[in-house]
Amino acid sequence: MDKLISLAKRRGFVFQSSEIYGGFGSCYDYGSLGVELINNVKKAWWKAMVQKRDDVVGLDSAIIMHPRVWEASGHVESFSDPLVDCKQCKKRFRADHLLEAASMKPDLEAHKEPPKSIKDIVCPECGGELTEPRNFNLLMKTFIGAVEDETSQAYLRGETCQGIYVNFKNILDSSRQKLPFGIAQIGKAFRNEITPGNYIFRTREFEQMEMQFFVNPKEADKWYDYWREQRMQWYKDLGMKDEFIRWRQHSKEELAHYAKAAWDIEFDSPFGGWKELAGVHNRGNWDLSRHGEYSGVDLSYTDPTTQEKYIPYIVETSDGAGRAMLAFLLNGYEEVETRSGDEEAKHEKEVVLHLHKSLAPIKVAVLPLSKKEELQKVAHEIKDSLAEKWMTQYDETGSIGKRYRRQDEIGTPYCVTVDFETANDKKVTVRDIETMEQERIAIGDLGEYFREKLEK
Ligand code: ATP
């Protein structure tokens, strides 16, 4: 993990927020490569969930909504995590996480058998006694307008899906969709997490990619199975290794009282093993019933063919963009023996970041073999023409081995080298990050060549 964090900082994927002020708790900024990667994660999600489908449409709702939304959703009353403190070392933990970890891997020294409740657990850091759990509300508050009192209090959204529920009727009336259909949204969410950490895994400000699929209650199970399969396949299609992700079903105790079923996709993290990456939930008719009740607007649906009237069930798919980016980075990080030909670093391990081409921040790097003007000129022309379509980088500094190495560690799938032969044969050498094969391609064919490689 430390190696990945250091690479991510050195190459401009992720920075600690407000670093020159000493950083700000669990907030991160995405640098010039990080913003490309997270945007590509979001693009890939949108393409699979909206662009390629007839039965899902998009939405971008406001971050700040009517405070009643959060009363109806149950967040004001119970969007809380159970917090425990160690009486000895004063460290703070989430009781549910401690229970989950101890139940999965009973620590034979401290707890002879799986714990029944938090009372059976001691501090995992120092073995000290823990306090009783206290509930801590995660909603972030703000004030709207000039006066800061209870009447002006509002919330930064704790999840993006509430914006979807309150627009269900608007979308239904304006998009000519019929059930079953879905609404997708990508956007920021805020939670006053009590135990943030593990880098960008758990932050207080993060981005969610959520899709709510509205169905006839009789068909909810069928759609639930369907969306579970789709979401897992999405990660696999983007290169997630089989051994790196898995399903986990929520236990009865974990299930929200209204939820009919909930499964998480987990990834094998270097910070304490399997961790939640995404969720697929059958939320029943809780959301539309509650918003109907609190707003006074009827959110039921009448089937235009059968005239059957019902409150739709919702199958939700919920993914974190930052968490997905972290998982793709961890999944793709590999240290290898020298392969770039970088003479100066012959004895060091090299990093190769295996990213799916659609996710790679830079698609093509253009490298003139020397700083001779005629090579630079051709290389710039190639770079400018490819940049019309793809994120490209021009690099003329250092040996060619060093430059290959720089591109390998940020996951650039292709390097184009302009050499001394180029002036004669009007061809360049294209190197593939995965196969390391080099091909001689005519400059005039590069556009078609990369279209084939990057877009098919
Ligand atoms: P956890 O148990 O890890 O707190 P959760 O079950 O509360 O997560 P959901 O409310 O289901 O998470 O949110 C859906 C997705 O949003 C998660 O699977 C995760 O990818 C992302 N997510 C949730 N909380 C955070 C956070 N604090 N930082 C980054 N991503 C988050």
Cα 76 to ligand 1 centroid, rounded to whole Å: 18
> Is 450 a domain residue?
yes
355 or 119, higher pLDDT:
355
Cα 81 to ligand 1 centroid, rounded to whole Å: 12
Q: What CATH number does residue 354 fall under?
A: 3.40.50.800
> Is 336 a domain residue?
no
Greatest Cα pair distance, the chain, in angstroms, is 78
> Do 176 and 290 fall within a single domain?
yes
Sign of CA dihedral 6, 11, 13, 17: positive
Burial (Cβ within 10 Å: 0-12, 13-18, ≥19) of residue 363 = buried
107 or 79, higher pLDDT:
79
> Is 167 a domain residue?
yes
> Do 372 and 240 fall within a single domain?
no
**Domain around 123:** 81-135
Number of Cβ atoms within 10 Å of the Cβ of 74: 15
Q: What pLDDT, on a 0 to 100 scale, did the predictor assign at position 108?
A: 46
> Do 235 and 357 fall within a single domain?
no
> Do 252 and 307 fall within a single domain?
yes
Name 204's Cβ contacts closer than 8 Å, sequence gap at least 6.
25, 26, 27, 140, 190, 191, 192, 193, 196
Task: Give nearest CA residue, ligand 1 atom 14.
Answer: 318
Q: Tens of pLDDT along 326-378?
A: 999 999 999 998 777 777 777 788 999 999 999 999 999 999 999 999 999 99
> Do 121 and 258 fall within a single domain?
no
Cα 320 to ligand 1 centroid, rounded to whole Å: 7
Cα 160 to ligand 1 centroid, rounded to whole Å: 11
Task: Give nearest CA residue, ligand 1 atom 26.
Answer: 202
> Is 68 a domain residue?
no
Q: What CATH number does residue 306 fall under?
A: 3.30.930.10
Pocket mutation for ligand 1, best pick of 208, 211, 240, 255 (most atoms within 8 Å of C-beta): 208
> Is 274 a domain residue?
yes
> Do 230 and 317 fall within a single domain?
yes
Q: What CATH number does residue 120 fall under?
A: 3.30.40.230
In contact, 431 and 442? CB cutoff 8 Å: no
Sign of CA dihedral 304, 305, 308, 310: negative
> Is 415 a domain residue?
yes
Q: What pLDDT, on a 0 to 100 scale, did the predictor assign at position 346?
A: 72
Q: Tens of pLDDT along 10-24?
A: 999 999 999 999 998
Q: Tens of pLDDT along 241-269?
A: 999 999 999 988 888 888 999 999 999 99
Task: Out of 330, 352, 386, pick the residue that ends a domain.
Answer: 330
Task: Out of 299, 330, 361, pick the residue that ends a domain.
Answer: 330
> Is 114 a domain residue?
yes
Number of structural domains (the chain) is: 3
In contact, 288 and 314? CB cutoff 8 Å: yes
Pocket of ligand 1 (CB under 6 A): 159, 191, 193, 202-203, 206, 208, 276-279, 318-320, 322-323
> Is 162 a domain residue?
yes
Cα 149 to ligand 1 centroid, rounded to whole Å: 30
Task: Out of 288, 304, 330, pick the residue that ends a domain.
Answer: 330
Pocket mutation for ligand 1, best pick of 206, 228, 264, 277 (most atoms within 8 Å of C-beta): 206
Pocket mutation for ligand 1, best pick of 93, 283, 323 (most atoms within 8 Å of C-beta): 323
> Do 167 and 32 fall within a single domain?
yes
In contact, 374 and 421? CB cutoff 8 Å: no
